[in-house]
C-alpha cells in the first residue's frame, strides 16, 4: 500500500475499463472520500468504446441507441452534468476527488476556471496553445480539445475532464442522435471547425504517458499540488461491487425517463449562458397549471439535487407562481447554476406552456 503524506495527492491510473466500471469507481471514490478513507485522488482513466450522457440528460434524446446496440457501444450515465460524450481507447480522462478545502476557494464557476487553466497549461507543454474557454472547456485556436465538469457531494468534490488525443468525427456523429440525411461532408467539416485533437494539431498522437505527465505538471505549477503515484486504495476496491451493481441497474440509466398521462406534453429548449436547458411539461391548459415538469439538457447545477427539488416544487402549480417558486428555491439552497439563473428556468417553462 502506498504511503501518502497529508499534503500529497495519490495519482492512480485505473487503465482501460468498461464504462460501467469507470462510473462505479467515481461513486466509490466519492463515498470513500466522504468517509475519510482515502487521500486526495488524481485519477487517470480510459474507456472501452462508450457513449456517456450527462446526469441531467435522456439517452433516448441524445444518442442513436440502435447504432450503439449494433456496434456494441456501451451506454452509461455520468455523475456530472453536461452533454453527451463519446469515448474510445484513444482518449484519456482525468479527475480530481478531494475535500473542497483542498483546492482554491470560490464558487464552482471560479473553481472550474482555475482547474481548466491548470490543465490547459499542462497541455500547452506538448506544443499546442491551450487555453480555458468559459464555461468549462479547454480550446486550442478556437476549437475544443477538452471538456470538464464537476459535482459537490456535501464537502467532497469530483471534478473530471477529457483530452481528445484522437477523434473519429464521422463515427461520433453516428453515435449522437443526428439524422442520417445530415451526416454528410458538410456536417463533418462543421464539427472539425469546432472540435480538434492532439493528433490533428501535432501530426501524430502523443503517448498517453506523455499526456499524463504534462497534465500533472500543469496542476503542480498552477495549483501547487504535489503528487505520489500508487495503486487504487483498498477501501475503494471494497466498495466497488455495490457501486457497480447500482450503475448496471436499469434505473440508473433511466433516471430521466418519465411516465406520461392523458395531459398534453409540451416541450421547449432554451440556450442560455449556462448551457442548453430543456423542459418537458404535462400542461393543464384549462387551469393554466403546470402538472409536472422535467428539466434536462447540457448544463451543470450545484447542489445536484436542486433539479429534483425544483421539479417537485413545480408540481400542480399555476403558471403565475412559477417565477417565485424557482427564485425561492435558488435562494434557499444557494443554487449555483454555472450561469443558469432562476429566470432561465422560468422562461423555458413559459416557453413550453405556449408550445402548441
Decide: 53 and 80 in contact? Cβ < 8 Å: no
Return d(Cα 205, Cα 242) in angstroms, integer. Answer: 37
C-alpha cell at 233: 486504495
Burial category of 146 from C-beta neighbours within 10 Å (exposed 0-12, middle 13-18, buried 19 and up):
buried
Parts of the chain with a pLDDT under 70: 1-6, 178-184, 186-187, 256-264, 356
Decide: 296 and 58 in contact? Cβ < 8 Å: yes
Which has the closest alpha carbon to 177: 53, 307, 316?
53
C-alpha cell at 126: 506538448
CA torsion, points 350, 352, 353, 356, in degrees to nearest 10? 140
Q: How far apart are the first and last CA of the chain?
A: 62
Question: Edge-to-edge strand order for the sheet containing 275-284?
Answer: 265-272, 275-284, 289-299, 317-318
Instruction: Give Cβ neighbours of residue 39 (< 8 Å, ≥ 6 apart).
Output: 4, 6, 8, 9, 10
> What integer pLDDT is reported at residue 273 of this predicted model?
85
Angle at 51 between CA 46 and CA 52, to 5 degrees: 80
Question: Edge-to-edge strand order for the sheet containing 130-133?
Answer: 130-133, 137-140, 143-153, 156-163, 92-99, 41-47, 8-17, 226-229
> What integer pLDDT is reported at residue 261 of this predicted model?
45
CA 284 from chain center: how many Å? Answer: 33
Amino acid at each position: 500500500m502506498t504511503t501518502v503524506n497529508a499534503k500529497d495527492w495519490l495519482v492512480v491510473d485505473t487503465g482501460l475499463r468498461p464504462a460501467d466500471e469507470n462510473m462505479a469507481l467515481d461513486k466509490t471514490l466519492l463515498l470513500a472520500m466522504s468517509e475519510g478513507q482515502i487521500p486526495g485522488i488524481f485519477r487517470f482513466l480510459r474507456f472501452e468504446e462508450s457513449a456517456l450522457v450527462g446526469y441531467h440528460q435522456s439517452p433516448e434524446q441524445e444518442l442513436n441507441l440502435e447504432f450503439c446496440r449494433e456496434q456494441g457501444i456501451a451506454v452509461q450515465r455520468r455523475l456530472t452534468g453536461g452533454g453527451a460524450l463519446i469515448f474510445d481507447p484513444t482518449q484519456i480522462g482525468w479527475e480530481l476527488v478531494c475535500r473542497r478545502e483542498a483546492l482554491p476557494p470560490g464558487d464552482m464557476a471560479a473553481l472550474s476556471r482555475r482547474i481548466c487553466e491548470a490543465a490547459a497549461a499542462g497541455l500547452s507543454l506538448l506544443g499546442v496553445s491551450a487555453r480555458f474557454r468559459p464555461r468549462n472547456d479547454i480550446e486550442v485556436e478556437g476549437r475544443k480539445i477538452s471538456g470538464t465538469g464537476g459535482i459537490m457531494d456535501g464537502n467532497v468534490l469530483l471534478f473530471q475532464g477529457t483530452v481528445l488525443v484522437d477523434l473519429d468525427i464521422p463515427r461520433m456523429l453516428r453515435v449522437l442522435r443526428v439524422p442520417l440525411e445530415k451526416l454528410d461532408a458538410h456536417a463533418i467539416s462543421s464539427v472539425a471547425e469546432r472540435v480538434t485533437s492532439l493528433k490533428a494539431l501535432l501530426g501524430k498522437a502523443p503517448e498517453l504517458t506523455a499526456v499524463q505527465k504534462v497534465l500533472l505538471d500543469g496542476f503542480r505549477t498552477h495549483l501547487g499540488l504535489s503528487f505520489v503515484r500508487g495503486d487504487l486504495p483498498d477501501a475503494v476496491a471494497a466498495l466497488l461491487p455495490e457501486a457497480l451493481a447500482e450503475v448496471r441497474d436499469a434505473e440508473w440509466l433511466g433516471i430521466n425517463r418519465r411516465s406520461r398521462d392523458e395531459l398534453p406534453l409540451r416541450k421547449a429548449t432554451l440556450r442560455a449562458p449556462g448551457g442548453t436547458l430543456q423542459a418537458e411539461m404535462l400542461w393543464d391548459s384549462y387551469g393554466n397549471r403546470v402538472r409536472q415538469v422535467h428539466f434536462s439538457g447540457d448544463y451543470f447545477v450545484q447542489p445536484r439535487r436542486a433539479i429534483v427539488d425544483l421539479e417537485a416544487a413545480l408540481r400542480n402549480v399555476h403558471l403565475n407562481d412559477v417565477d417565485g417558486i424557482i427564485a425561492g428555491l435558488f435562494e434557499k439552497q444557494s443554487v449555483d447554476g454555472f450561469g443558469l439563473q432562476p429566470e432561465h428556468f422560468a422562461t423555458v417553462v413559459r416557453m413550453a406552456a405556449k408550445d402548441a
